[in-house]
A and B are shown apart, each in its own frame.
Chain A
Amino acid sequence: MILSPSDYKRGTLQGIESLPMSSGDWMIDRRLAALERFETLGFPDRRSEAWRYTSVEGLLKQGFTAPAKSSQRDRDDGIQNHLLEIATLGRLVFIDGQFIEEHSVYPSEGVRVTSLKTAMATGDRQVLEAVGSLSGLGDDGFAALNLAGFQDGAVIRIAPDVRLDGPMELLHLSTDRVEGHKLPTRHLILLERGSQAELIERFISEDQQSSYFNHQVVEISLAEQATLSHKRIQMESRQAYHLSDLHIALQSKAAYYGVMAAIGGCWSRTFISNRFQQPDAHCELDGLYLVDDGQLTDFHLDIDHQLANCSSRENFKGILRGAGKAVFDGLIQVGKGAQKSEAHLHNANLMLSRQAEVDTKPQLTILADDVICSHGTSVGQLDDQAIFYLRSRGLDEQRARALLCQGFLAEIIEKFEHQALIELLNRRMNFVGLTEPETNHESLG
């Protein structure tokens, strides 16, 4: 069933009205304003440059609706099966878009962790002011709808000068109960002056058949000299839709280190916006994607240098197999006042099949004159000489190809640092399986 924008508006309004006044009224004006914004914008189509290569038709055709109000869940969700051997300081678990208190563990000192719903219910002023302050009402209909309709999320606040010595985890698990539903969530990550934290975020699904729409907006604000390492792994069901908007704001001498992996989903888009709010800040983004038949993965970066002495580095690599499709659109803008900026952007693609397609568009616009910037892209295949070299040392061809694929992504994979994450990625990407002979798509068609 195809829903019209007015169907979405009606559904979202119902959602807003169903919120208990204790949580809804704090935000209601902004929610309604966002809804109005959505009405003006509608859903993006290919006439919009940012959506030129990524069609939303398939997503809209699914007609995803909000899940029924907090249906009583089977409390034993087998969450233990999905935990990794990483000593985390805290964990927030979301199952089917709902925060699950009993599976969550909170760190104590120097950190305040809460669900967004709780923060709203208690009228937490800092949270209420921060929600939407970086994302705005949204540049496209999706972002506006998220602000209007989100139900829950995580709030993580690190106190000044607190340096956490272990990671915290945000785990998003989807079950087969979310079939046909959209799951709008919203996170707020605030690091105060001089603090340091690490965040591991995972999106996983109990099966590979469920079709749902995970839609998340994350606002990350790092005060002076704060450092955040953010590791993000998207392993949704192969039939799922995933849309993430990350808005990052950095103050003086703050540093954000993000590394993203997009492996699951039939349609997955990650938009990352980085704003240097003060000079002398640093941003690094690394990413990998793997697409196979019936998958589209899209990364959009918007790195905005308007102030002096900031640096950024972005490196995204992808492997495409079968009739997989990937989009990379990375934009670095260096404004007039951004002297002594350093910015480097690169995207590399390894094509394992003829049917695969990548649309890659690294862009750099520079208005300042004293900067060091570079951008580039590459699209290639496995190197026959390298395969020969490995085989001449006794490795069979399949193993040689697998090793080269793994090697291609190695510099990104190692940024995930924790052995458990690295193994998870290597296992899930199944490099040996990647090199198995492909099905003949023409004969299937």
Chain B
Amino acid sequence: MLAIKNLTASVDGKEILKGVDLQVEAGELHAIMGPNGSGKSTLAHILAGRDGYSVTGGEVRYLGEDLLQLEVEERARQGLFLAMQYPVELPGVNNMSFLRESMNALRRARGEPEIDTLSFMKQVKEKARQVKLDEKLLKRSVNAGFSGGEKKRNEILQMAMLEPKLAILDETDSGLDIDALRTVADGVNRLRTAERGMLVVTHYQRLLDYIQPDKVHVLADGRIVRSGGKELALELEARGYGWLLEEAAA
């Protein structure tokens, strides 16, 4: 589904990614861990198509296409979703209308008719309940004045409504208390299917107490320095990142 080969990228002339290789198949959930500044968020942003990064080498294929050639919205319409670390506040843009417009943009791209009001309302209420997002927040402006936890729940709600083929979660666990963390994890687990790929970027192991990854990768200094099963995450929890960095440097 997603194949990243020797990806290198820089920001303002500084090389951040120094040759990343990663393959995610449908049905798999991969976790990318690593110390701050290792390039985890850069990788997530490049996949979603955010400006400000120059890809200097390598390639990314998504569903057989050259992902990096696609516009941001085209990626979304082809089923790629990024849950952001810092969801943007959009004053004056109604949360529910935005969600519906987004769903319809994706449906149109798939040649499907727009969703009718009744089905939409039913679905959004049901899914808001699942992620424990107060229904009142659906009627407010997108993320405006939401707490950190509410913003993340709203991201998970969007993910649940848009039903992406490939979901990327960029530090969705950061700044969450244990209840919110559990809700976010439940949201992710509910979406795990044989058709969907997921890439969970996280700094801490604790999210992986609730989400069982198929594979864990450690990104350090712009490279994946170690890949393994979920036991790798536990080892990192116990030993930190230091030993891996030393090994990688050796």
Which residues of chain B come closer than 8 Å to A390, judged between CB atoms? 90, 98
Closest to A396 in B: B73
Contact status B90-A389, CB under 8 Å: yes
Given the complex of chains A and B, what is the CA–CA distance between A395 and B102 in angstroms? 6
The 9 closest A-B pairs by CB, nearest first: A407-B92, A410-B92, A394-B105, A393-B102, A391-B72, A394-B76, A407-B93, A389-B88, A391-B73
Tell me if B49 is interfacial: C-beta within 8 Å of chain A: yes
Tell me if A440 is interfacial: C-beta within 8 Å of chain B: no
Q: A395-B102, A407-B91 are in contact. List 15 more A-B contacts (CB 8 A).
A: A386-B88, A388-B72, A389-B87, A389-B88, A392-B72, A392-B82, A392-B84, A393-B76, A393-B105, A393-B162, A394-B73, A394-B76, A403-B90, A403-B98, A406-B92
Given the complex of chains A and B, what is the CA–CA distance between A100 and B137 in angstroms? 48
User: On chain B, which size bracket covers the interface?
Assistant: 20 to 34
Which residues of chain A come closer than 8 Å to B105, judged between CB atoms? 393-396
Contact status A411-B92, CB under 8 Å: yes
Contact status B76-A384, CB under 8 Å: no
Contact status B50-A393, CB under 8 Å: no
**Listed residue (A383, A403, A409) with the most chain B CB atoms within 10 angstroms of its CB:** A403
Tell me if B181 is interfacial: C-beta within 8 Å of chain A: no
Give a binary string over B20-51; 1 marks a CB under 8 Å from any A CB, 0 the rest: 00000000000000000000000000001111
Which residues of chain B come closer than 8 Å to A407, judged between CB atoms? 90-93, 141
Tell me if B101 is interfacial: C-beta within 8 Å of chain A: yes
Given the complex of chains A and B, what is the CA–CA distance between A410 and B109 in angstroms? 29
Contact status A397-B73, CB under 8 Å: yes
Given the complex of chains A and B, what is the CA–CA distance between A385 and B90 in angstroms? 10
Contact status A392-B90, CB under 8 Å: no
Contact status A394-B109, CB under 8 Å: yes
Kindly identify which residue among A392, A396, A403, A404 contacts B49, using a CB–CB cutoff of 8 Å.
Answer: A392
Tell me if B2 is interfacial: C-beta within 8 Å of chain A: no
Contact status B90-A410, CB under 8 Å: no
24 chain-A/chain-B pairs, Cβ below 8 angstroms: A384-B51, A386-B90, A388-B51, A389-B88, A390-B98, A391-B49, A392-B48, A392-B73, A392-B76, A393-B102, A393-B105, A393-B162, A394-B105, A394-B106, A395-B105, A396-B73, A396-B105, A399-B101, A403-B93, A403-B101, A406-B93, A407-B141, A410-B93, A410-B141
Which residues of chain B come closer than 8 Å to A409, judged between CB atoms? 92
User: On chain A, which size bracket covers the interface?
Assistant: 20 to 34
Instruction: List residues 82-138 of chain B with CB under 8 A from any CB of chain A.
Output: 82, 84, 87-88, 90-93, 98, 101-102, 105-106, 109
Tell me if B158 is interfacial: C-beta within 8 Å of chain A: yes
Contact status A395-B101, CB under 8 Å: yes
**What is the CB-to-nearest-CB distance from A406 to chain B, in angstroms, rounded to a whole number?**
7
Give a binary string over A396-422; 1 marks a CB under 8 Å from any B CB, 0 the rest: 110100011011111100000000000
Given the complex of chains A and B, what is the CA–CA distance between A316 and B51 in angstroms? 32
Closest to B80 in A: A392
**What is the CB-to-nearest-CB distance from A396 to chain B, in angstroms, rounded to a whole number?**
5
Given the complex of chains A and B, what is the CA–CA distance between A389 and B72 in angstroms? 9
Closest to A408 in B: B92
Given the complex of chains A and B, what is the CA–CA distance between A388 and B162 in angstroms? 17
Contact status A393-B92, CB under 8 Å: no
Kindly identify which residue among B90, B106, B109 contacts A404, using a CB–CB cutoff of 8 Å.
Answer: B90
Which residues of chain A come closer than 8 Å to B92, judged between CB atoms? 406-411
Closest to A317 in B: B92
Which residues of chain A come closer than 8 Å to B65, judged between CB atoms? none
**Listed residue (A396, A397, A407, A409) with the most chain B CB atoms within 10 angstroms of its CB:** A407
**What is the CB-to-nearest-CB distance from B110 to chain A, in angstroms, rounded to a whole number?**
11
Contact status B88-A408, CB under 8 Å: no
Which residues of chain A come closer than 8 Å to B73, judged between CB atoms? 391-392, 394-397
Given the complex of chains A and B, what is the CA–CA distance between A391 and B162 in angstroms? 14
With known contacts A384-B51, A392-B72, A395-B73, A410–B102 Cβ distance under 8 A: no
**Listed residue (A389, A396, A404) with the most chain B CB atoms within 10 angstroms of its CB:** A389
Given the complex of chains A and B, what is the CA–CA distance between A409 and B91 in angstroms? 9
Give a binary string over A86-102; 1 marks a CB under 8 Å from any B CB, 0 the rest: 00000000000000000
Closest to B91 in A: A407
Which residues of chain B come closer than 8 Å to A395, judged between CB atoms? 73, 101-102, 105
Given the complex of chains A and B, what is the CA–CA distance between A86 and B98 in angstroms? 28
Tell me if B71 is interfacial: C-beta within 8 Å of chain A: yes
**What is the CB-to-nearest-CB distance from A54 to chain B, in angstroms, rounded to a whole number?**
29
Contact status B93-A383, CB under 8 Å: no
Give a binary string over A238-267; 1 marks a CB under 8 Å from any B CB, 0 the rest: 000000000000000000000000000000
Tell me if B217 is interfacial: C-beta within 8 Å of chain A: no
Which residues of chain B come closer than 8 Å to A404, judged between CB atoms? 90, 93
**Listed residue (A384, A385, A388, A396) with the most chain B CB atoms within 10 angstroms of its CB:** A388
Given the complex of chains A and B, what is the CA–CA distance between A105 and B82 in angstroms? 57
Which residues of chain A come closer than 8 Å to B91, judged between CB atoms? 407-408, 410-411
With known contacts A383-B88, A403-B98, A391–B93 Cβ distance under 8 A: no
Tell me if B77 is interfacial: C-beta within 8 Å of chain A: yes
Instruction: List residues 226-240 of chain A with CB under 8 A from any CB of chain B.
Output: none
Which residues of chain B come closer than 8 Å to A392, judged between CB atoms? 48-50, 72-73, 75-76, 81-82, 84
**What is the CB-to-nearest-CB distance from A319 to chain B, in angstroms, rounded to a whole number?**
12
